[in-house]
Chains A and B, each alone.
Chain A
Amino acid sequence: MNFCPKNTPGLYDPKFEKDSCGIGFVANIRGVPSRQIVDDASNMLCSMEHRGAHGYESNSGDGAGITTAIPRQFLTKIAASEGWDIESPEHFAAGLVFLPQRKKERREYKALLEDLIRDNDVRLIGWRDVPTDAILANLGASASDSQPVIQQLLLDPGSTEISDFERRLFVIRKLITHQIRNQETSEALQFYICSLSSRGLVYKGQLSPDQLFDFYPDLRDPDFHSHFAMIHARFSTNTFPSWDRAQPFRFIGHNGEVNTLRGNINWMRAREMQLASPYFKKSELLEMRPIAEENCSDSGNLDNVLELLLMSGRSLAESVMTLIPQAWEKEVNLPQDQKAFYEFQSNLMEPWDGPASVTFTDGQSIGAALDRNGLRPSRYYITHDNKIILASEVGVLNIPPSEIYAKGRLKPGDIMLIDFQEGKVLFPDEVKTEVASKHPYRTWLNQEQVPLENLSVGPQPEPYGMAELSRKLLCFGYSVETIDFILLALINEKRDPVGSMGNDEALACLSDFSKLTYQYFKQLFAQVTNPPVDPIREESAMSLRCNIGPSGNLLETSKEQARRLVVEHPILTSEDFSRLDSLSTRNWQSQTLDTTWNHQEGEAGLEKSLHHICNEATQAVRNGVHFLILTDQAVGPERTPISSLLACGAVHHALIENGLRTKVGIIVETGEAREVHHHCLLIGYGADAIYPYMAYQALIQAIGQESSEPRGPAVLEKTYKKSVGKGILKVMAKMGISTLQSYKGAQIFEALGLSTEVIETCFKGTPSRIGGVGLNILARESLRRHSEAYKDNAEDLQLGNPGEFHWRAGGEEHSWNPEAISTLQIASRAGNRSAFQHFTEEVDAKSRDLCTLRGLLRFRDGIQPPIPLDEVEPAAEIVKRFCTGAMSFGSISAETHKTLAVAMNRVGGKSNTGEGGEDPERFTLLKNGDSERSAIKQVASGRFGVTMWYLTNADELQIKMAQGAKPGEGGELSGHKVDQTIARIRHSTPGVGLISPPPHHDIYSIEDLKQLIYDLKNANSQARISVKLVSEAGVGVVAAGVAKAKAEHILISGNDGGTGASPLTSIKHAGLPWELGLAETHQTLVLNKMRSRVVLQTDGGLRTGRDVTIAALLGAEEFGFSTVTLITLGCIMMRKCHLNTCPVGIATQDPVLRAKFDGQPEHVVNYLFLLAEEVRDYMARLGFQRVQDMIGRSDLLESLSDLEHWKRKDIDLSRLLACHKESNRQVQSKEKQQFHLEARLDARLIEKCRPAIENKHRVRVDSPVKNTDRTVGTMLSSEIARKHGLKSLPEGTVHIHLKGSAGQSLAAWLVSGVTIELEGDANDYVGKGLSGGQLIVYPPAESSFESHHNVIVGNVCLYGAISGSAFIRGQAAERFCVRNSGATAVIEGVGDHGCEYMTGGRVVVLGSTGSNFAAGMSGGIAYVWDPDRSFHSRCNLGSVGLEQITLHHDDAEELFNLVQSHSDLTGSVRAQELLKDWDTVLGQFIRVMPHEYKRVLKGQNFAA
């Protein structure tokens, strides 16, 4: 039985299901099988319980499994008992198969499989039922109901050679899987082969980690031996039972997410026709298609492709390195041969990009690898007795310290292998060297590759005459805004231009204006399940380079495959483009396809022409053309352009369909594309390179008009290209994608308002959930522009201003127009009901007039009888459901921030701090009884001012995963906005700019979020934990995961939320309206039976009673307002927040402007009550007494049916309105999330520390600790903070001595007066948010390794630390001291990205550092001991300078004292050695000094 609702009428789509996990393996390096290894695996699984998840039933896990070697002893015993005849006991294969519960199909499928086995000359030894014990395992009802029949089969190779036997098994598995699962019935989908091999065997299921061994008695059999065991504990965002999605797969265990999946699958499809291998018949290869199977998770698809590579002769390591290459493009320290290997492989395969920690095995070896960004932990121990344990965490097996020979971790891009035949561990460099030396890749590349710049330059275009230019610009929809806001800004600002406030423009699919096809698309972005990346500070992992043009057979490795055109940047200048003329000199044929149509053919001409160019393209490639150039240069009086996006998408998909795409490069020569968003879309739908000729022409003309010195066309084009490149990287980065090669064709977009016809023709696989306009409408829009441009009696040919960015009279509709703003201000100032009515009428009318999806809805009166108004709950009750949105103190002025807080506190609603912290003075009541304390304290990626005291003073803690105006991006507060006060509150330096990283560095996956929720609950058990998400396709699935991660409150923000500063690309084109996100979330949570666990809130452009009522009916219980409240306080949508020039003193820190602030709390209060009264009117009309009763009652809404509008008429909102019967009931039956805090180690610590907490007596506690003891010290700190406030306890009051492996988040927000001394090691996030406490970590005395060579603490330690100190004897993994505000730390080595974004404090590194040290560091000082003078090559010098320290330096003494303390507190051998020869050693230290910090310390340019 498959519960997965494949075709629900609503918005839930299983395609978006995400998962992440705990993974690991244990193995005997010499390949000696034992029972112990299997037992170890069992223990490991149980200690990673917290990384897996449960659904609504506590005993239905998301999936757990194990891969072992074929347990020959055990299976031989079974065979004997079954009376089977095994001919080759060393080589027989075994497989575990899930079969349907229904007998008929089961029999049928088995027969089919047996036929295939026979056909492949393999002998079936026998079938057995695999015993299972659901009772012992305490299997939950939903897992149990969906449990397949599990059987095992044994196969004999007969005379077949063993590697060929494996290939036969592969063919059998592939064919049977397609034959059966393609039927897509629920029975067929239950058929699944977990593994079928002579080398490994998988046991898995819809289980929690601790259930696996209980469920499968086989695994407990004393004869079940193995030399390795690979395990997996799954955390899925969904709870729908899916036994087959449990891991490990046949070869891998994957903790991660493939962000580029859609592209990878499409490219694989495209390659399949070209596949050829001596190991397989051509017909077999064709029958095995698709290699990447349908109905499979991203990890499953990765496994599919890895399997293909392995089976066609590649080694395990090579295959993994091909699929998940390290960041080789810009890595200077990478050996040439390795670089050549990666470069060569990039011709055959794009990276499967995304965070990934992978374990893999083919039975002969086992290994692990990390993606290029190293975003998932992977740590290992090697013991003296040849055992290796590798896992997402340390401490998963209890190993006495004396037995440990080495401890380590994988670094970004690392791969490690244990070769059982050789009996040794191959460390990353050995693995890579071996793989890279297999072929002379560098020679091949040098001989065959053709860099674009090696082709000769051809003639370049002449500038158009004025009239022709004007007509063409009009025809391509250029406007004054295009020139001013986009093109000139790209040149002048040298980046994707920045704007502010939210997008309130009409949606393209509703607008009366003719829109470009690009405007119907919204960018998707990463949230929760994988992190966005920082393309600026972590540029080393990013790449725009692509090899394009025909590529060869994936399964072959030959010199010819290097023969491709190397394009360093997808945007071509005129010079670049002219080089393509000489493609023929390299024996490449190119063909130009005209992408215009005769306007006299009318609307139908578009579809016809699209089909025509697709046929032409297909034919051309069949005829041997290597490059297609799609061009709209023919535009003129007769010819109107096909949108380059439609043309590119259609050709790309037609070629994929015909298996031809990889034989050709697609170059788009377009007058239409000019914005970053346009280029991203073209690349996302398959363009290999783009020549935006009109953008250049327009720029040359526009710049020529400026009075300042004219810049030459070549310079302009290069600047444009560079700025666009930065923008593209940012768009990729917000999805967490690092390479353009993987982004290409990955379709990371959602269409809003395009019909199925358009999607199927041009954008196959793109979600488009409300249907919408067809090709005829897109054609009409193009024709309209054409007729404007080429009409006979043109009044003039000047560009118009459609008012898409700024409101313009007669231009595009905006929700916030002058009328709406001024009437709202009048209403809220006077509390005037009729003015308010005027306001809501205006706004609701605008909403109907095209601005929003909710504008297309209307209430269904009469479903329930109306009730008298006085029966409706009072407004005073309703306003309690209102919050203000997160606006940081920093982005808005102190006056505004406080006014909002006072207003919300007066009505009993909640204000939100935003991400900038809050002045502790505001936590005390004012004399008049008002409170300026924000009830919601936000925790964002920058962690500014997130101290224990801040967390303590919250009613709600909100984790901001994304922001509507810039999802997937971090913010920046420029130095001039950081005045004394802001610096004090953010714990930074006045005058020094601040950066919020794109991701929370402690949330790279859903289980990380679960950990942070847990941390925050520990920090303030009375606060509700909220997670803020932004609407996009799949947000409901993410929200289900968030609910499983135990969030108590989820906010779904719309894309139109405001911002103080954000790229216009993001404001306009990222994320989706809240209506979709909210409805999807509500529906998905209801389907998952999780709705009752969380409170759902929405925000993003809510303004009127109608908005609130619709939001409630779609599932929201609480409502957030931001822009609208600012407008009541005087905001007039100046859209200048990013310039600090807000003329009404709201979004500015300039004291002169702040003095102009004229808002009063009454204004906000008036508005909220006027609003609530309006909601009451609607409630009375719809027959509801309480808001709570309306939640999720989407049956009271319907689409406006009388829509004759040319665009709107085809929009279908039925999925939005899908109503589930139990929906409202689930909302009503609130269940609390369970945290079991009372059972924690901290509960015991608190008891023991009572004398300290109550009376400040000194207390010492000794305790063992293990990896399941997470967030140790935080609840204790919270207790102390509650009692003693900001000042906490005197130094040294509490001393806690721990021994063992500490779980994640040790000492998070530890307050002053508390010392934690850990003898052992610790996992990730040690000391996050450290709030004054002291932390000492050192290895146990009995351990035998050198501490400074071994990793003792995990990733992201001291993230967002505020103050306090940490002395760590040993190395930290990646991202040590990220965003440290003021803590002091001494450590003996750090991984990559050390001190990233750091703004204060001192860090001393007495050992090696990884690369990209100090990226984005703006404050504080780091001292790095660098005896071999190599540090500079690993330091990111973007914002810091490196200096020598001398004896006379002021800080020489500070440094000495810190090293001395380190030695004293940790017994560090390294410190002792250094101190012995201090005078020499001092000269070997490098002082890492941020430029800005240095300037400010010197007192220059800053007078506060």
Chain B
Amino acid sequence: MGKPTGFLEISRQSAPTREVEERLKDYKEIFTNPPVEHLTSQASRCMDCGVPFCQSEPGCPVDNLVPEWNDLVYKGQWREALDRLHRTNPFPDFTGRVCPAPCEGACVLGIDASPVTIKNIEYAIAERGFEENWIQARQPMARTGKRIAIIGSGPAGLAAATRLNQFGHTVSVYERDDRIGGLLMYGIPPMKLDKEIVNRRVRIMEQEGVQFHTGLNVGVNLDIQELNEKSDALLLACGSTRPRDLKIEGHHVQGIHFAMDFLRTTTKSYLDSKLRDGNYISAENKRVIVIGGGDTGTDCIATALRQNCRSLINFELLPEPPQQRNSKDNPWPQWPRILRQDYGHQESEAKFGEDPRQFQISSKKFLDDGNGNLAGIQTVRVEPDGDGSFREIPGSEREWPCDMVLLAMGFVGPEDTITPKLPIQMDDHSNFRADFGSYSTSQQGIFAAGDCRRGQSLVVWAIREGWDAAVQINRYVSS
């Protein structure tokens, strides 16, 4: 620990994002990389805890060696910090951007002060690594001749691929879309993760020998049996991509879209033609309601704003969280369930003068304008009844006129393109059944990792699972 009293002398300063007015004009990343002095001084706040909760169960899923690289950054040893960061996390460039940073939620400083800006520092270390060309393709020392097929090129697939390749195996990654990256490519908008960031990783992996195949949808235009037979092991990392639907009255009207369709088409069009081809679902000049208060909902808000929607409202079923952590039912080091204003909310407030979120709203019915087009939503306010469900508050019904609804209510498991061809047991949540730690499915030699195994979750969890599954697969093919 560089500075024992850092946390007493320096207060938390997050790295600033770009000005809202400015960033609303484009799809470029909202992040900035602050000066080195800012980072070293923020890093000095890390207390190098005897028991670093940032690595604990509620903390970082990849067990990032946070105290160590904070200290190295404080001491100016960026290269070593990068090495230390890469020990646990192959893609700090991704997590430094998109991770909600549970590490910060568990940070010991957070007991009664503001946590260390761990995520900013992670981001900076990774960027420094690219700037300085420290991050280079590394060839494995020897090739084993074992062939591993990975289905899905999202964070889990990539993490597994990079590690398995380093073990010396021959790794092929199959992606159904036209670009590699899965959720990283089309699920997260460019404002949060510039697609070039994904590509530069993919390029390095290609140089290292990982083979990527796009446009191959396993079970659809790629024979899973055949693939399985010609591989020594197979990893399912195809994500949890079946969106949760809202089948209420009127759900068939025009103007209701799944968030992913909205985000994917926008990003693809943006990448293909800077949106000039018009091949995307547009919110321009529409009154938009986003249903679902998670990260995807926020991404929809931000995207719709950039498309110049006329108005924007965001429904959330849960009550508005408190401003500060309630130490009784949400004690440290649990993830603090507090009201956070994410980038989309900020932008919406800047544009329309108020935060777009409406809490405790349950949608009852989509309204038809008579032409089969969406005219609005009928809702009711709800409150938690204590056993996990909600009860409606009588007399709180309301109608919300709108032209476009984006459903961002989560996902319910992998699509059923594989199981009909290759029977794999599913769990109670319709994910592939495989134990955490072993990642082995009911079929010998077939492994599953990431959202398709654990259900929808964070990018960082996907990385963790892919990274760990690689070790299990290596053990399997080596024995």
Range for the number of chain B residues in contact with chain A: 35 or more
On whether the beta carbons of A1132 and B49 are closer than 8 Å, the reply is yes
Per-residue CB proximity of A445-480 to B under 8 Å, as 1/0?
Answer: 000000000000000000000000000000000001
CA distance A1054 to B52 in the complex (A): 25
On whether the beta carbons of B111 and A818 are closer than 8 Å, the reply is no
B470 closest partner in A (C-beta): A795
Per-residue CB proximity of A1128-1154 to B under 8 Å, as 1/0?
Answer: 001011111001010110000010110
- Does A522 sit at the interface, judged by CB under 8 A? no
* B51 proximity list for chain A (CB < 8 A): 806-807, 814, 816-818, 821, 1132-1135
On whether the beta carbons of A793 and B166 are closer than 8 Å, the reply is yes
Min CB distance, A130 to chain B, in Å?
66
On whether the beta carbons of B141 and A793 are closer than 8 Å, the reply is yes
On whether the beta carbons of A793 and B168 are closer than 8 Å, the reply is yes
- Does A921 sit at the interface, judged by CB under 8 A? no
Min CB distance, A23 to chain B, in Å?
49
Per-residue CB proximity of B139-170 to A under 8 Å, as 1/0?
Answer: 01110100000000000000000010011100
Per-residue CB proximity of A803-828 to B under 8 Å, as 1/0?
Answer: 00011111000101111011001100
- Number of CB contacts from chain A to chain B under 8 A: 118
**Which parts of A688-720 form the interface with B (CB within 8 Å)?**
705-707
On whether the beta carbons of B53 and A818 are closer than 8 Å, the reply is yes
Task: Knowing A793-B168, A822-B333 are in contact, say whether A1141-B47 is a contact too (CB < 8 A).
Answer: yes
* A830 proximity list for chain B (CB < 8 A): 328
Min CB distance, A512 to chain B, in Å?
15
Task: Knowing A706-B75, A793-B166, A1136-B4 are in contact, say whether A1143-B50 is a contact too (CB < 8 A).
Answer: no
Min CB distance, B59 to chain A, in Å?
7
CA distance A1357 to B56 in the complex (A): 54
**Which parts of B34-70 form the interface with A (CB within 8 Å)?**
47-53, 55-60, 63, 65, 67-68
Min CB distance, B125 to chain A, in Å?
15
A1145 closest partner in B (C-beta): B112
- Does A399 sit at the interface, judged by CB under 8 A? no
Task: Knowing A1134-B49, A1134-B50, A1143-B111 are in contact, say whether A819-B331 is a contact too (CB < 8 A).
Answer: no
Task: Knowing A818-B57, A818-B59, A1152-B8 are in contact, say whether A792-B50 is a contact too (CB < 8 A).
Answer: no
| Among A792, A801, A1130, A1143, contact of B47 (Cβ-Cβ < 8 Å) | A1143
On whether the beta carbons of A796 and B48 are closer than 8 Å, the reply is no
CA distance A706 to B75 in the complex (A): 7
CA distance A818 to B65 in the complex (A): 15
**Which parts of A402-458 form the interface with B (CB within 8 Å)?**
none
* B141 proximity list for chain A (CB < 8 A): 792-794
B112 closest partner in A (C-beta): A1156
On whether the beta carbons of A1141 and B80 are closer than 8 Å, the reply is no
* B77 proximity list for chain A (CB < 8 A): 705-707
- Does A798 sit at the interface, judged by CB under 8 A? yes
- Does A1464 sit at the interface, judged by CB under 8 A? no
CA distance A1136 to B47 in the complex (A): 9
| Among B4, B65, B111, B168, contact of A1132 (Cβ-Cβ < 8 Å) | B111
CA distance A814 to B8 in the complex (A): 28
Min CB distance, A1481 to chain B, in Å?
51
- Does B76 sit at the interface, judged by CB under 8 A? yes
* B424 proximity list for chain A (CB < 8 A): none
CA distance A1130 to B113 in the complex (A): 14
CA distance A1102 to B267 in the complex (A): 58
Min CB distance, A1134 to chain B, in Å?
5
Per-residue CB proximity of B186-200 to A under 8 Å, as 1/0?
Answer: 000000000000000
| Among B5, B7, B50, B86, contact of A806 (Cβ-Cβ < 8 Å) | B50
CA distance A1144 to B108 in the complex (A): 9
On whether the beta carbons of B333 and A818 are closer than 8 Å, the reply is yes
| Among B55, B108, B140, contact of A809 (Cβ-Cβ < 8 Å) | B55
- Does A1479 sit at the interface, judged by CB under 8 A? no
B65 closest partner in A (C-beta): A801
CA distance A1141 to B7 in the complex (A): 9
* B4 proximity list for chain A (CB < 8 A): 1136, 1139, 1141
* A814 proximity list for chain B (CB < 8 A): 51
CA distance A930 to B49 in the complex (A): 34
B62 closest partner in A (C-beta): A809
CA distance A814 to B56 in the complex (A): 13
CA distance A3 to B429 in the complex (A): 72
CA distance A819 to B334 in the complex (A): 11
- Does B83 sit at the interface, judged by CB under 8 A? yes
Interface centre among B53, B57, B163 (most CB of A within 10 A): B53
| Among B8, B76, B142, contact of A1141 (Cβ-Cβ < 8 Å) | B8
- Does A1158 sit at the interface, judged by CB under 8 A? yes
On whether the beta carbons of B142 and A1144 are closer than 8 Å, the reply is no
CA distance A814 to B55 in the complex (A): 14
Min CB distance, A1178 to chain B, in Å?
28
| Among B8, B50, B75, contact of A707 (Cβ-Cβ < 8 Å) | B75
- Does B244 sit at the interface, judged by CB under 8 A? no
Task: Knowing A1139-B4, A1143-B111 are in contact, say whether A480-B76 is a contact too (CB < 8 A).
Answer: no
- Does B15 sit at the interface, judged by CB under 8 A? no
- Does A737 sit at the interface, judged by CB under 8 A? no
CA distance A707 to B108 in the complex (A): 28
Task: Knowing A806-B52, A816-B51 are in contact, say whether A705-B331 is a contact too (CB < 8 A).
Answer: no
* B108 proximity list for chain A (CB < 8 A): 1132, 1134, 1143
On whether the beta carbons of A1134 and B333 are closer than 8 Å, the reply is no
Per-residue CB proximity of A484-518 to B under 8 Å, as 1/0?
Answer: 00000000000000000100000000000000000
Task: Knowing A793-B140, A809-B63 are in contact, say whether A1153-B49 is a contact too (CB < 8 A).
Answer: no
* A796 proximity list for chain B (CB < 8 A): 83, 86-87
Min CB distance, B81 to chain A, in Å?
11
* B168 proximity list for chain A (CB < 8 A): 793
A819 closest partner in B (C-beta): B57
CA distance A793 to B334 in the complex (A): 38
CA distance A810 to B62 in the complex (A): 10
- Does B227 sit at the interface, judged by CB under 8 A? no
Per-residue CB proximity of A842-866 to B under 8 Å, as 1/0?
Answer: 0000000000000000000000000
Min CB distance, A1149 to chain B, in Å?
14
Per-residue CB proximity of B330-350 to A under 8 Å, as 1/0?
Answer: 011110000000000000000
On whether the beta carbons of B50 and A1135 are closer than 8 Å, the reply is yes
| Among A480, A818, A1130, A1141, contact of B56 (Cβ-Cβ < 8 Å) | A818
* A801 proximity list for chain B (CB < 8 A): 65, 68
| Among A480, A819, A1133, contact of B50 (Cβ-Cβ < 8 Å) | A1133
* B310 proximity list for chain A (CB < 8 A): none
B167 closest partner in A (C-beta): A793
* A1135 proximity list for chain B (CB < 8 A): 49-51
Min CB distance, A1085 to chain B, in Å?
37
B48 closest partner in A (C-beta): A806
- Does B84 sit at the interface, judged by CB under 8 A? yes
CA distance A793 to B477 in the complex (A): 14
CA distance A801 to B56 in the complex (A): 15
**Which parts of A899-929 form the interface with B (CB within 8 Å)?**
none
Query: Can you show 24 pairs from A to B with CB atoms below 8 A apart?
Result: A705-B80, A706-B77, A792-B142, A793-B140, A793-B168, A795-B163, A795-B166, A796-B86, A806-B52, A807-B50, A807-B52, A809-B56, A809-B60, A809-B63, A817-B51, A818-B333, A822-B331, A822-B334, A1132-B111, A1135-B49, A1141-B4, A1141-B7, A1143-B109, A1143-B113
Closest 8 CB pairs of A and B: A1135-B50, A818-B56, A809-B63, A809-B55, A707-B76, A1133-B51, A1133-B50, A807-B51
Known: A793-B168, A1132-B49, A1132-B51. 8 other contacts (CB 8 A): A480-B68, A793-B141, A809-B56, A817-B56, A818-B57, A819-B56, A1134-B51, A1143-B7
Q: Interface of A with B (CB < 8 Å)?
A: 480, 501, 705-707, 792-796, 798, 800-801, 806-810, 814, 816-819, 821-822, 825-826, 829-830, 1130, 1132-1136, 1139, 1141, 1143-1144, 1150, 1152-1153, 1156, 1158
Q: Interface of B with A (CB < 8 Å)?
A: 4-5, 7-8, 47-53, 55-60, 63, 65, 67-68, 75-77, 80, 83-84, 86-87, 106, 108-109, 111-113, 140-142, 144, 163, 166-168, 328, 331-334
